[in-house]
Amino acid sequence: MMRTIAAALLGLALAATACGDATNTSADAAIIYDADPFAPDAEQLSCAQATLEIGRCQLAGEGGPCTGSLEEAEFVAVEPEGGRIGVIVGPQGADMMVLSLRTSGIDPGDLDNPASTDRPDVSVQLYRNEEETMAHYVGRPSFLGEAQSQEALGIYLVIERAVRSGDVFRVVAEVEDQDGEYRCGSLRFIAE
């Protein structure tokens, strides 16, 4: 009985280790999905050459944060090194930031099917003071618009730790479509 339990535990440990640094399987994969981006030894995302713009998401005409409806959402550029992004409280009571991404020349995949696996892979990480991981998003949002300007509106980052107005953050985002087209960007900003 003890050998069976020990063998089962060893199998689980090996499976967990194999999944620890699961990566995209394409030959030039750039997006790395860390099993626990909040672990002290987790590798931070970085972006050497920005090809993706990160902004905030707001309601068109009203200026408030996005509420989930893409028809009413718009991309708003954030001034680098000092622009501000607000913290909102979601329906579950969690602090969140609502971002948007803008790029060009990627294949948006099937926009009619929200569960389609041919949409671009997106990974976003939020860091406070360049060291503390605060939020992580992995998904396949809709990139709407023409090839020269494509926007993913309403990327909701659920923040894992307390945020104070005036905290300095850095957000890094990566996008890779199913053809291997890769985009990345980063933004330093202040929470309000």
In total, how many domains does the chain have? 1
Q: 111 versus 29: which is more confidently predicted?
A: 111
Whether 148 maps to a domain, the answer reads yes
Q: How confident is the model at residue 12 (pLDDT cuts 50, 70, 90)?
A: very low
CA distance 18 to 7: 16
H/E segment holding residue 16: helix 2-19
Is residue 66 within 8 A of residue 73, CB to CB? The reply is yes
Whether 62 maps to a domain, the answer reads yes
The β-bridge partners of 174 are 123, 184
Which of 28-32, 106-110, 111-115 has the highest average model confidence (pLDDT)? 106-110
Whether 32 maps to a domain, the answer reads no
Tokens coding 95: 């602090």
37-47 pLDDT, tens digit each: 666 666 777 78
Provide, rounded to the nearest whole percent, the portion of the chain with pLDDT above 90: 55
The β-bridge partners of 155 are 99
Whether 167 maps to a domain, the answer reads yes
The β-bridge partners of 183 are 175
DSSP string over 115-156 = T-TTSPEEEEEEEETTTEEEEEEEE----EEETTEEEEEEEE
Tokens coding 7: 């063998």
CA distance 176 to 147: 15
Whether 18 maps to a domain, the answer reads no
Whether 40 maps to a domain, the answer reads no
| CATH code where residue 59 lies | 2.60.40.2550
**Boundaries of domain holding 171:** 51-191
Map 20-40 to HEC letters.
CCCECCCCCCCCECCCCCCCC
Number of H helices, E strands in the chain: 1, 11
Determine the pLDDT at residue 168. 94
Determine the pLDDT at residue 185. 96
Q: How confident is the model at residue 35 (pLDDT cuts 50, 70, 90)?
A: low
Is residue 152 within 8 A of residue 176, CB to CB? The reply is no
The β-bridge partners of 59 are 73
CA distance 24 to 60: 35
Determine the pLDDT at residue 135. 94
- In the numeric block, the tokens 């954030």 are attached to 78
Whether 7 maps to a domain, the answer reads no
Whether 161 maps to a domain, the answer reads yes
149-188 pLDDT, tens digit each: 999 999 999 998 889 889 999 999 999 999 999 999 999 9
